[in-house]
Amino acid sequence: MKRFPRSNTDSGRSVGFHFTAIRASAFSRLLGVCWLALALWLLCSCATPERPKVEPWVKDNQKIGTVTSVKCPWGYDYRYQDLSGRLVRFEKRDDSRQLCGGACLTKFDYDPAGNLSAAQHLAASEEPCLTMAGYALCRWAYSQAADASRTVEESYFDCEGKLVSTHAGYAVMRRTSLPDGKLKRVELLDPSRKPAAAFWLGVSNVAEVQYSYLQGIGEVTCAAFLDATGTVIARKQLDGKITEFLSDSVTTYNYHYRSYGHR
């Protein structure tokens, strides 16, 4: 078969296309290098945030603790700790380091045993101020039963010192823990200290939550939610993963797990 040579015009087009492709490829690589350099510069500039600053907390020419300022989205958090390291005061400040509006200041108190006993929320004027959750003061009380279980009662108050329901629907939260520290039961009460109809872990009308701990792959935490009448209105597996059971464990499986939605 006779071959016909390509015309000069075809050859020129080929060469021109070739050099154009080279120039485009080189430009693309250069552009990529520029974008990479810009990305690295941004990464380095963002990877060096302002470090927390720790200074002595001085009153009447005496050091009474430390003050730590930490950069945050609204400006700065100021944390005041006494000489034992306990947090006793917390402030929210703006970028100019002035106290923010609303409940921007919190004072903490502790009982003789060192347990947190109160958190009072204040405005910049140091007057009581409601938080976004709907309370101005929170108090904690602690008790221990003969079986070594521990109960912590957390109560919420308004600016006048009266019990008030938080936005979640309860004024008192009573938590009872097992001797090993695991949560056993949570009771939610209204301002009259009667069972509340609160919102807890995504469930409405909750007055009590009972916790149980089962064995799966590791420990499995489950919760039963009860309303004010004591009726179970929901059950949830909170964490952990359930294993496959042998035939001699069918009864245990049915009793513990099927009520939590497992089949």
Residue 217 falls in which region: left (phi positive, over 0), alpha (psi -120 to 50) or beta:
beta
Same domain, 218 and 105: yes
8 A C-beta contact, residue 68 and residue 93 = no
Whole-number pLDDT of residue 32:
58
Given 96, 111, 126, the domain boundary residue is 96
Does residue 129 sit in the same domain as residue 80? no
Residue 78 is assigned to a structural domain of this protein = yes
Residues 85 and 202 in one domain: no
Report pTM.
0.72
Our count of domains for the chain comes to: 2
88 and 106, same structural domain?
A: no
pLDDT of residue 247: 44
Boundaries of domain holding 58: 48-96
- Assess whether 180 and 254 both reside in one domain: yes
Segment holding 19, helix H or strand E? helix 8-46
Cβ–Cβ under 8 Å, residues 66 and 81: yes
Residues 6+ apart with CB under 8 A from 69: 52, 53, 55, 76, 77, 78, 79, 93, 97
Residue 195 lies inside a defined structural domain of this protein: yes
pLDDT of residue 43: 54
49, 57 in Cβ contact below 8 A?
no
**Residues of the chain scoring pLDDT < 70:** 1-49, 216-218, 241-263
Instruction: Assess whether 55 and 142 both reside in one domain.
Output: no
pLDDT number for residue 187: 98
